[in-house]
């Protein structure tokens, strides 16, 4: 079937030229060390505005200078929604200009597969994974909904989650339960977050598993208290459990990874999970409204897509009245046209991070978090909820302040001390801080002084 006569294929470009998509991605990624855009598009794109000053990735002040964040406040809330660094802003502007000038030539005419492959390839590199297994989403919440809404489960198989998970996981599971009655059970993984240990968490999980448990739905770094789950140890324990089970009954480890992604320097192999959902618009400082869902290659078949994808294979299947055949992550990427100026700028965020150095960024975040926890812990009336140990925590630091409901503390810190922190969106809110690459050690000291002044 010559679908090119029916489908709106691009009149030029690599697909026309007969280049395979993988070859295209390699060619493009090799050719776009600066722009992250396909070579043809990059040539046509307007010139990149000259950066203000020279960006020195080894100088934290220079890194901070790449952000347009207001200097009136100390910005300790990147865990909510990122500010874009200059290379990401420039890429977004560039693509927006292209789309405004000629959406078809920019790549939106025939689906977005070429430029999105560049995005999937750069995210895959970051995850230590393969582009064929990285579906693009708009957020962690969307990824979790696709996963928990689409997972094929046998009648009676249950989902085990924790009481500490966020709304995005709990509500996706509630919707699943309402749709088909899938049982969902919640357990406590620890009683005191500050004292949570790997042994305690792993043993509680293993004890809670039943022969019916098919899915373990957890959050890598809890956003209510900053506890980082020992994903690798959980995965190792599940490996032993699964060794005694039929493949169709294996327990699948699914992670909301958003507060570890780009705060921790870890690959999917390091985590050992089976599914991983995150956005890029928190710790990676990626374009707002972009994210991914990754699955181990052998598990993608377990996820039934719920939103039609916009891919060549999808259209060919439709035209031929048959199921589309394509890489699982292509079929798992929700279609419809998107805010492509954001999606196609994702490689710039990855490149920005890699240029600074992933290990350096993690070390910068963790050392500030350690200083912050140490300073807060010394204050009378302050209870730090986040564990001390770097293996049990990441960048999020949470606490309570005696006599100060979290919302009032948030308001007072902003109004009187120019510190931006937030209350956590949970039933019992806590006060939460996020040291990142836009904050500095001397600012951490000021935060501690500001919290002390709440007394
Ligand atoms: C644990 C957790 N998961 C998911 C989200 C939502 O992230 P996204 O905007 O990527 O859906 C948040 C907070 O915004 C969160 O704290």
**pLDDT tens per residue across span 371-422:** 999 999 999 999 999 999 999 999 999 999 999 999 999 999 999 999 999 9
- pLDDT of 112 reads 67
- pLDDT of 109 reads 64
Q: How far is the CA of 258 from the centre of ligand 1 (A)?
A: 6
Task: Please compute, for residue 311, the number of CA atoms within 13 A of its CA located in the half-sphere on the CB side.
Answer: 23
Q: Report the interhelical angle of 406-417 vs 441-452 (nearest 10°).
A: 120
Domain ranges of the chain: 121-353, 358-452
- pLDDT of 88 reads 98
Strand partners, 276: 255, 294
Tokens found for residue 346: 């994702």
Ligand 1 near 166 CB (within 6 A): yes
User: Residue 295 CA to chain centroid, in angstroms?
Assistant: 13
- pLDDT of 38 reads 33
Residues 6+ apart with CB under 8 A from 420: 73, 74, 75, 76, 77, 413, 414
How far apart (Å, rounded) are the C-alpha atoms in residues 362 and 364?
5
Q: How far is the CA of 168 from the centre of ligand 1 (A)?
A: 7
Three-state secondary structure call for residue 399: strand
CA-CA-CA-CA dihedral for 235, 240, 243, 248, to nearest 10: -40
Q: How far is the CA of 80 from the centre of ligand 1 (A)?
A: 8
- pLDDT of 328 reads 87
Query: Ligand 1 pocket test: which of 78, 218, 223, 228 has the largest number of ligand atoms within 8 Å of its C-beta?
Result: 223
Residues 6+ apart with CB under 8 A from 447: 74, 76, 372, 375, 419, 421, 433
CATH C-level class of 358-452: alpha beta
CATH C-level class of 121-353: alpha beta
- pLDDT of 120 reads 97
Number of residues assigned to the chain? 455
How far apart (Å, rounded) are the C-alpha atoms in residues 104 and 398?
47
CB-based contact 33:122 (threshold 8 Å): no
CB-based contact 308:330 (threshold 8 Å): no
Ligand 1 near 268 CB (within 6 A): no
Q: Which residue has the tokens 């598009």?
A: 41
- pLDDT of 151 reads 98
How far apart (Å, rounded) are the C-alpha atoms in residues 86 and 62?
11
Query: Ligand 1 pocket test: which of 139, 140, 427 has the largest number of ligand atoms within 8 Å of its C-beta?
Result: 140
Q: How far is the CA of 193 from the centre of ligand 1 (A)?
A: 20
How far apart (Å, rounded) are the C-alpha atoms in residues 192 and 190?
6
- Pick out the chain residues at pLDDT < 70: 1-53, 109-112
């Amino acid at each position: 079937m010559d679908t090119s006569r029916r489908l709106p294929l691009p009149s030029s470009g690599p697909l026309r030229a007969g280049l395979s998509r993988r070859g295209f991605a390699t060619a493009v990624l090799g050719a776009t060390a600066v722009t992250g855009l396909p070579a043809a598009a990059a040539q046509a794109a307007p010139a990149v505005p000259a950066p203000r000053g020279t960006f020195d990735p080894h100088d934290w002040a220079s890194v901070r200078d790449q952000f347009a964040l207001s200097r009136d406040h100390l910005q300790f809330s990147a865990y909510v929604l990122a500010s874009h660094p200059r290379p990401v802003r420039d890429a977004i502007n560039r693509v927006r200009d292209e789309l405004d000038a000629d959406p078809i030539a920019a790549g939106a005419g025939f689906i977005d597969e070429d430029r999105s492959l560049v995005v999937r390839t750069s995210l895959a590199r970051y995850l230590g994974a393969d582009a064929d297994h990285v579906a693009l989403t708009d957020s962690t919440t969307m990824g979790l909904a696709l996963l928990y809404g689409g997972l094929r489960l046998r009648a009676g198989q249950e989902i085990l989650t924790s009481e500490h998970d966020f709304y995005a996981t709990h509500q996706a599971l509630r919707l699943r339960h309402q749709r088909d009655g899938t049982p969902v059970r919640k357990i406590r993984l620890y009683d005191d977050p500050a004292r949570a240990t790997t042994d305690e968490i792993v043993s509680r999980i293993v004890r809670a598993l039943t022969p019916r448990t098919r899915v373990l739905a957890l959050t890598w770094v809890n956003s209510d208290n900053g506890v980082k789950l020992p994903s690798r140890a959980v995965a190792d324990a599940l490996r032993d459990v699964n060794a005694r089970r039929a493949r169709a009954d294996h327990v699948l480890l699914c992670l909301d990874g958003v507060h570890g992604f780009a705060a921790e320097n870890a690959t999917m192999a390091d985590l050992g999970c089976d599914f991983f959902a995150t956005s890029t618009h928190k710790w990676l400082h990626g374009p707002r409204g972009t994210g991914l869902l990754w699955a181990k290659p052998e598990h993608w078949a377990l996820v039934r897509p719920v939103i039609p994808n916009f891919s060549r294979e999808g259209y060919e299947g439709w035209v031929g009245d048959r199921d589309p055949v394509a890489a699982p992550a292509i079929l798992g990427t929700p279609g419809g046209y998107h805010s492509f100026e954001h999606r196609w700028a994702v490689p710039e965020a990855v490149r920005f991070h890699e240029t600074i150095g992933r290990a350096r960024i993690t070390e910068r975040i963790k050392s500030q978090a350690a200083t912050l926890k140490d300073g807060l812990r010394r204050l009378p009336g302050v209870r730090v909820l986040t564990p001390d140990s770097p293996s049990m925590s990441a960048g999020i630091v949470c606490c309570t302040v005696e006599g100060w409901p979290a919302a009032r503390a948030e308001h007072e810190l902003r109004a009187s001390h120019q510190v931006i922190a937030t209350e956590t969106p949970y039933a019992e809110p806590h006060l939460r801080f996020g040291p990142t690459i836009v904050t500095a050690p001397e600012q951490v000291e000021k935060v501690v002084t500001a919290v002390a002044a709440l007394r």
